[in-house]
Chain A
């Protein structure tokens, strides 16, 4: 009797354990973190798994172990598919996050590339200006020195040839160009000790460009850029403003206070090459009543007026802290870009 009771108790507890095992399997199957993610991201597949598991329980109740096993297998497969789908969704979400981050970096890259191009262009301008200033200083020294180096004459002739090419592009005829080219070749052959002939030829070439430009009723589009670039190459500071192109230099006066012939000559070259409209110049002085500066400016005005159209340039004095005394700024008002 005792043995039979023990056997019955054992059977009951075994069945309970088995049932509990099944329950635990079901619980552990659907209660894992992966299953919870699957429930959130792939509810349709998760539902399929639960339906199959319910079918397994039903089959088990009918004591159809084979069917219960098949349904459990099916449930596990559906749940595995749901987990795979949830992982795919998460991978896609992470991919989208990374893509957004990539786009942010790409935008920064594009911005920095653009900014780098602007800064590099500024640097080129600064460097070109530094080179031009050195060349201008050399030309200034040249006008005072009795002789010029071969390199200086070469530099002037190179600019003459560039000017002639530009004049040709602007429509200058062969009859006008040929004599100037021949003169340039002759100077290159003879290698004169003085640069005067080369400088005179440079003025002629600038005047020819000016003649070509003057055929247009007003500056052509892009002329202000050409003016700025030419001024920089010639040793002036240049900038585009709302009132026109402003050309400036602190070298209009020599250290002794005389008007600099070299600078005035280069400025005349610019005036000839860019013939449109009036030019308003301002000379920065320490005070308006200074007789010394009044005399200096009067000399500069007289020198600036030695040109075909003396009334084109007007000059005035201005007291300002932002410019050194003797600094000159001239505005080419017709070269205002819209």
Chain B
């Protein structure tokens, strides 16, 4: 009975420590995951268009790595890093959409110009045909 009490007491003492170690490992894994995600974004050719957000994510992840003793601070830094990474992703997507829009606008202008020129050509051809037809009808 006494030995059982001793074992329970030891387990009770060890449990918080074990739980803390597991939380630390999970936080570290999340930080690494975010760093990997950030690394992929920074490697993109157009990364310079989300420079501010990427730098903020970088700073937040540095903070997260350096504040292992304070899990709450680490978690908050990760939250900031996650939001900054998402912001960077959306900014880059917005820029792609903008580039696609400009390309569509250029194509539209070119197509419209061609269509207007073709319409003028068609009208000129129709005038010529009408004139020839009138000539052909003359006795």
Contact = CB atoms under 8 A, between A and B. Distances in A.
Interface of A: 45, 48, 52, 66-67, 70-71, 73-74, 77-78, 80-81, 84-85, 87-88, 91-92, 94-95, 98-99, 101-102, 105-106, 108-109, 112-113, 115-116, 119-120, 122-123, 126-127, 129-130, 250, 324
B116 to A, nearest CB: 9
A68 to B, nearest CB: 10
Interface of B: 53, 56, 72-73, 76-77, 79-80, 83-84, 86-87, 89-91, 93-94, 97-98, 100-101, 104-105, 107-108, 111-112, 114-115, 118-119, 121-122, 125-126, 128-129, 132-133, 135-136, 139
B77 A70 contact: yes
Given A126-B133, A130-B135, A106 B115 contact: yes
29 contacts: A45-B86, A48-B83, A70-B79, A74-B79, A77-B53, A77-B87, A78-B83, A78-B87, A80-B53, A85-B90, A85-B94, A87-B94, A91-B100, A91-B101, A99-B108, A101-B108, A105-B111, A108-B115, A108-B119, A109-B114, A109-B118, A113-B118, A116-B118, A119-B126, A123-B129, A126-B132, A129-B136, A130-B135, A130-B136
A41 B24 CA distance: 37
B104 A91 contact: no
Given A71-B76, A120-B125, A81 B112 contact: no
A73 to B, nearest CB: 5
B108 A95 contact: no
A106, A127, A324: which has the most chain B beta carbons within 10 Å? Answer: A106
Contacts of B56: 77
Contacts of B76: 67, 70-71, 74
Nearest to B135: A130
A48 B89 CA distance: 16
Contacts of A98: 101, 104-105, 108
A130 B121 CA distance: 23
B56, B87, B129: which has the most chain A beta carbons within 10 Å? Answer: B87
Contacts of B94: 84-85, 87-88, 91
A105 B110 CA distance: 10
A123 B139 contact: no
Name the 6 nearest CB pairs between A and B, nearest first.
A77-B83, A84-B90, A70-B76, A91-B97, A126-B132, A81-B87
A88 B132 contact: no
A19 B95 CA distance: 38
A74 B118 contact: no
Contact of A115 (B73, B77, B105, B122): B122
A81 B101 contact: no
Given A67-B76, A109-B118, A115-B122, A122 B129 contact: yes
A126 B80 contact: no
Contact of A99 (B83, B104, B112, B122): B104
B83 A88 contact: no
Contacts of B87: 77-78, 80-81, 84
A78 B139 CA distance: 82
B79 A52 contact: yes
Contacts of A48: 83
